[in-house]
Amino acid sequence: MPTKTLSQRLTLTTLTAAALVSSPLSQAYDGDSYTLRLAHVVNTEDTYHIAAEHFRRYLEEESSGNIEVEIFPNASLGDERTLLEGMQIGTVDMGVITNGPVANFAPEFSVFELPFLFPSAESAYAILDGDIGQALLDRLGEVNLKGLAYAERGFRNVTNSQQAVHGPEDLEGLKLRVVENEVYVDTFRTLGANAVPMAWTEALTALQQGTIDGQENPINAIHAFNLAETQSHLSMTRHIYAPAVFVMGMPVWQQLDDSAQALVLEAARKASAYAREQNSAMQNAQLDELRDAGMAVVEDPDREAFRNAVEPVYEKYGPRFDDTLPRIREALQKMQ
């Protein structure tokens, strides 16, 4: 069978075969051979890389080596906007991309950026893996992208180099990097912070140089990028649950035969579930290591005050999601 090389590269840590979950497609692959190039912007300790590596191992084993995956971490192929643009035109095959940048291409995804939308990770999974989440993945086809599955960035928390953050008043005037997404920007400006949207690669330099005071990210990213070196305070605000999206360029997806498409989709779902499990399992140890590195942690900030303070964000953006937000809220209500 001919090998079809579809785009660019990536390297990852090795996961054991025992970590892989048996697939109903096992030993059934009868399609062509392919080499897929998967990119992400974080380092090899991050959950995105764990998801990408699991995806690679699963695909290669279930296809008996006929589908290979090369992984390019650390933004080696560009920032997330650049990766998505490359997927649209076929110069990048696929990636694990933070939801915020995805929403710049398909604005409906911004509904997941609304602050304090999900009360728990389990409630987020139920929405993302159900009909509502799938409907949004399908919308990516309108912008020449193929949504495969929802991996995880996780609940986002605030760090800074200036002071402990117990409530909204403590954010007043802090210069914080946020994801390049208007809902993030308005959320933190509503809370009184000086929100600065920028790519993550630029943010790391700005944090080191002290040109910004802080940022907001899940614990896995705060730990993976050793932010305790520049950030002395962490507040567990859990203000936004951030999915990540396994996404492929439609030009590449359409080159795959039916058997390969089915296996790629299965692998993305398996890898996403595995990454979520790893996120949960690692968080307590990561928090302990951040404390040991000198970071002061506010575990129980006044989340109710934060929720009340961001109500204007819902007033502004809620009508934009008239089709989706009421369905999410109704589904969440039924889970209680």
Q: Which residue has the higher pLDDT, 51 or 221?
A: 51
Residue 311, Cβ neighbours under 10 Å: how many? 13
Domain 157-240+285-335 architecture: 3-Layer(aba) Sandwich (3.40)
Among the residue ranges 16-30, 148-162, 280-294, 297-311, the one predicted with the least confidence is 16-30
- CB-based contact 221:153 (threshold 8 Å): yes
- pLDDT score, position 27: 54
User: Is the per-residue pLDDT at 22 higher than 90?
Assistant: no
**Per-residue pLDDT for 8 more than 90?**
no
Question: pLDDT tens-digit profile of 222-231?
Answer: 998 999 999 9
* Residue 45 confidence class, pLDDT cut points 50, 70, 90: confident
pTM over 0.85: no
Q: What is the mean pLDDT of residues 320-326?
A: 92
From its phi and psi, is residue 95 left (phi > 0), alpha (psi between -120 and 50) or beta?
Answer: beta
Alpha-carbon dihedral angle through residues 55, 272, 314, 197, given to the nearest 10 degrees: -40
Bridge partners, 70 (sequence order) = 37
CA 130/CA 332 separation, integer angstroms: 12
Please give the average per-residue pLDDT across 38-61, as a whole number.
95
What's the CA angle centered on 91, arms 86 and 92, to 5 degrees? 65
Q: Which helix (H) or strand (E) holds 67?
A: strand 67-72
Asked if the model's pLDDT at residue 25 lies above 80, the reply is no
Q: In 209-220, which positions are buried (b, 16+ CB within 10 angstroms) versus exposed (e)?
A: eeebbbbbbbbb
Structure confidence at residue 233 (pLDDT): 98
| Predicted confidence (pLDDT) per residue in 159-200, tens digit | 999 999 999 999 999 999 998 888 899 999 999 999 999 988
**C-alpha distances in angstroms, 244 versus 96, 165, 173, 185, 233?**
6, 26, 29, 19, 25
Tokens of 51: 């998801």
Q: Has residue 11 got a pLDDT over 70?
A: no
The CATH label, of 3.40.50.720, 3.10.105.10, 3.40.190.170, 3.40.109.10, for the domain at 3-153+243-284 is: 3.40.190.170
Write out the two tokens for 321: 């999601």
Domains 3-153+243-284 and 157-240+285-335 belong to one CATH topology: yes
Kindly state the DSSP code that residue 115 receives in the 8-state scheme: T
Domain ranges for the chain: 3-153+243-284, 157-240+285-335
Range 127-149 burial, b when 16+ CB lie within 10 A, else e: bbeeebbeebbebbeeebbbbbb
Q: What is the 3-state secondary structure (H, E, C) of 202-265?
A: HHHHHHHHCCCCEEEECHHHHHHCCHHHCCCEEECCCCCEEEEEEEEEHHHHCCCCHHHHHHHH
pLDDT at position 209: 96
pLDDT tens-digit series, residues 52-64: 999 999 999 999 9
Tens-digit pLDDT profile for residues 55-114? 999 999 999 999 999 999 999 999 999 999 999 999 999 999 999 899 999 999 999 999
Residues 228 and 138: their CA atoms lie apart, in Å, by: 39
pLDDT at 257 over 70: yes
